[in-house]
Amino acid sequence: MARSVVRWFGALLLVGVPSLVSTAAAQRPLAVSIDSTPPGATVIIDGATNEPLGTTPLKGVNVTKGPHTLLFQLTGYEDAQVSINVTTAGATFEGTLIAKPTLSVTAADASAEGAAVRIDGEPAGQVPLRVSVSVGRHLVQVGREGYQVFSAWVSTTAGAPSTVSVHLEPVAPDTGSILVAGDVPGSSVYLDGEPKGVTPTVLENVTPGEHSVEIRPQGFPPFRQAVRVVAKERATVSPVFNAIAAGASLRIIANVPDAQIAVDGEVVGTAPAAKEHLRAGEHIVSASAPGYAPAEQTVVLAENQQRVVSIRLDAVGSPEGRIRINATPATATIRVDEEDLGHSPAILDGAEPGTHVVIVTADGYEDFRTTCETGPGKGCELDVDLKVVGTPVRIETNVDGAELYLDGASMGPVPWEGRLPIGSHKLEVRAKGYRTHAEQVDLAPSSKVRTFDVELTPGEDAVPADGPSDAELDAAAATALTHSAQTLPSQVAAVDVSGGYPYLLEARMGVGILDYLDAGFAVRSFFRLNEFELRAKFSQRPSKQFSFGAQVRFGGGIGASGDPVAVEGANAADHPVNAFFMSVEGLGTLHFSDHGALTLVAALDMHSDRYDFTGGDSSKLSQRGLLGDRQDVTRFRIGGILELVVDRDWNLFAELDGVLIGQSRDILGDVLGLGGTDANLYFRLGATYKF
C-alpha cells in the first residue's frame, strides 16, 4: 500500500506543479475596487508623482499583481497611505483620511480686531482668522503697534477645532526713577510740586525728560534741583545740609566680587567697599554687576555706629534684551525676527521685550525654528544642533530607461537628482538587458552636488530591474510564518527546530517557490523511529487578517530492529521497525497584523507501520507481530498552532494536535519504555530562523 501511495503522489506532483508554475507566469493586471472614507479622495499608486487613478469610489481599476502603495489625497484632510498586496481580481481596498484640525483666532474685545496673526512664526492673516493646521503644537502670536505681543501655545488634535481668544494689552511707556536722599532723614520730598513722601526714597515710574525735585528739611532752607530722567535709568538727588561730618560708617560686602556699590546713590567703589562719616538714620545701599539683577536694601545707623552689610545679587540668564545663539555646524545662518545675524555665535543686544522668532538654517541640514522671550532682567540663550537631512547627488548613465535603487529601494528613473541620506549606502543602477551596477558609497554632508557617472554593459546575466530587492526580501522575511496557511514568500527560506511528544526532536526546512506555493522537508525522531518527510503547501490570502490553504505531507521512517527494551522469548533481529505515511491537511489562519498568527488544522492521516510489539509494552509481541503483518490506520486529526514573530530573523511557535477518529498507533506507545499506549494527543514547542 505504501508504495502505491508514494507513486500516486509523485505522479500528482509531476503533473500539477508544472501546471501551477505555468499559470503563475501568465500574470496580468487584475481589476480591483478602491474606496475611501470620506469618498471623493484622489488616488495615486506607487508614488506621488504618478498620474492619479481617479477619485473614490473606483470600480474595476486594473492593477498589476503584487505589493503596491496607495496615496489618498483630499482637501481639508491629512494624506493617507495604504500598503496593499493584489493577489486576486475583485478585491476591494479602502483608505481612511483624517480631517485636519482647524484653528480659529478671535478677538476678545476691540483691542485685537484686525491685528496681525502669525502661526509658528509665519504670517497667517488678521483677527478674526480660521485656518487648517497640522496635528500637534502651534505657536499663535498676535500683535499690533502700541500693544504688547500676545503669545499662546495651542495643541491641536485630528478632526477637532481649536479656538484662541485674544486680548491685547497696551505697551506701558518707558520710565525712569529718582533716588532722593540727603543727610537729613525724614525731609519732605516734592516732584514737580507734588508731595512724594520723605527722604530717603525712590521715585519710580517717572516719565523721561526734565523734572524738578524739592527737599524741605526742618530747620534748613528748601533745596531744589533740576533732574533729567532717562528711560530705564536712575537719577540721584542727595544734598548735604549739615556741614559737620557724621561719625557712623558702613562696610559693604557682596556675593559677587567687584560688584559696584553705592550708598544713597553715590558710588563708593567695588565690593568689598566702605563709606565713612555717615550721619545717623536711614541709608540706601545698592549693588549691581553684569549678568545680575540690581539689588538694594535700607540700613539704619545709630550715631557713631560701625556696621557691616551683606548684599546679595541674583543672576539672570542673559543681560536684559540680549539674544545669544550658538549653532552647529558653525556655517549655519541665524535669523531673529527676519533679521540676518550671520553665523554662529550670533548676539543681538537691545531686543525689545516680548516673543522673538529664531530660525537657523544650513545646506544639508533640517531647518530649526523656535521662539524665545525677552523682558526686564531676562535674556535668551540657545544652543542649536541641526539635524542632517541629506546631501545633493546626481546619477547619470549611458542607458535609457535605467532605474536607481538605494539600499534595495527604488528611487526613480536615471538620470536622477536629489538629496540622499548621510551615511553608507548600497547604490544600484539597473536596466533590462544590462548588468546591474552596484557599489557601496559613503555620503557626507555637503552643499556641493556629488555626481555619479555610471556606465552599464550589456550581458545575459543581467539582474532584471523588476526583481525583488534586498530591502524587499528583508521586509518579506520579517513577517514570514512557517506554520500558518500563508506560504513562505518567494526566495525566503526558514529552519524550524522543536521538541515535544511523541517526537522528542524535529528539524524542518522550507523555502518559498511561488506566491502561493512553498515546499520543504523534515527529520524527526523519538529514537525508536527516525522519520523523514517531504511536503508542499498551497495557499490564498484574501485579506490581511485571514489566509487559507492545503498542505500535503508524505514520507517514512526506520528504526532499529526489535526495540531498545529486551524482548522475552523472541529474536529481536526478526522484528524490523519502519513506517510510511501520507497526510492531507486543510489550514485556516487568523493573522495578528505582522506580529503572529493562530492556525487551525484539519487533517486526514494515512499510516502503514511495521512494529511487532503491543502498544502498551514494547517488550511484548503482539498477535500481529507474530504474523509479521503491518498496522495500517487512517485517522482524522485536528489541531492548533500559535506562532509569534520575535524579529526579522526569529519566530516562536507552539502546536497541539489530537486524533478525533481512528485507532491508536502501536508504534507511538511505550515511548522510551515508560509504558502507556498512544495518547492520540501530541504537542511540540520550537523556534524558527528565517533567512
The CATH number of residue 415's host domain is 2.60.40.1120
My answer on whether 396 and 372 are in the same domain is no
My answer on whether 397 and 485 are in the same domain is no
The number of folded domains in the chain is: 5
Question: Exposed/middle/buried for 43, CB within 10 Å: 0-12, 13-18, 19+?
Answer: buried
Q: What is the rounded CA–CA span in Å between residue 385 and residue 189?
A: 56
My answer on whether 682 and 562 are in the same domain is yes
How confident is the model at residue 468, as a pLDDT?
57
For residue 445, is the peptide bond before it cis, meaning its omega torsion is within 30 degrees of 0? no
Longest Cα–Cα distance of the chain, Å, equals 146
Domain that holds residue 347: 323-385
How confident is the model at residue 316, as a pLDDT?
64
Query: How is 269-332 classified by DSSP, letter by letter?
Result: EESSEEEEEEPSEEEEEEEE-TTEE-EEEEEEE-TT-EEEEEE--EE-SSSTT-EEEEEESTT-
My answer on whether 672 and 589 are in the same domain is yes
Per the listing, cell 516732584 goes with 191
- The cell numbers describing 604, all together, are 486526514
My answer on whether 531 and 635 are in the same domain is yes
| Low-confidence residues in the chain, pLDDT < 70 | 1-27, 172-173, 242-246, 315-321, 376-377, 460-475, 562-573
Residue 222 in domain: no
How confident is the model at residue 141, as a pLDDT?
93
My answer on whether 91 and 130 are in the same domain is no
Give the pLDDT confidence of 9-42 residue by residue, as tens digits: 454 444 444 444 444 444 578 899 999 989 999 9
Q: Which residue among 402, 433, 465 closes a domain?
A: 465
The CATH number of residue 566's host domain is 2.40.160
- In what helix (H) or strand (E) does residue 250 lie, and over which residues does it extend? strand 248-254
Residue 143 in domain: yes
Judged by phi (left if over 0) then psi (alpha if -120 to 50, else beta), residue 36 lies in: beta
Residue 685, beta-bridge partner list: 499, 654
Give the strand pairing for 577-591 and 546-559.
Answer: antiparallel
**170-to-151, 209, 355 alpha-carbon distances in Å:** 14, 22, 16
Residue 300 in domain: no
Q: Which residue among 147, 166, 185 closes a domain?
A: 166
Q: Which residue among 334, 369, 385 closes a domain?
A: 385
Residue 460 in domain: yes
My answer on whether 643 and 558 are in the same domain is yes
My answer on whether 512 and 612 are in the same domain is yes
Residue 232 in domain: no
My answer on whether 353 and 489 are in the same domain is no
My answer on whether 557 and 662 are in the same domain is yes
Residue 459 in domain: yes
How confident is the model at residue 21, as a pLDDT?
41
My answer on whether 436 and 496 are in the same domain is no
How confident is the model at residue 565, as a pLDDT?
43
My answer on whether 418 and 556 are in the same domain is no
**338-to-51, 123, 190, 342, 358 alpha-carbon distances in Å:** 39, 12, 47, 12, 8
Residue 86 in domain: yes
Residue 148 in domain: yes
The CATH number of residue 77's host domain is 2.60.40
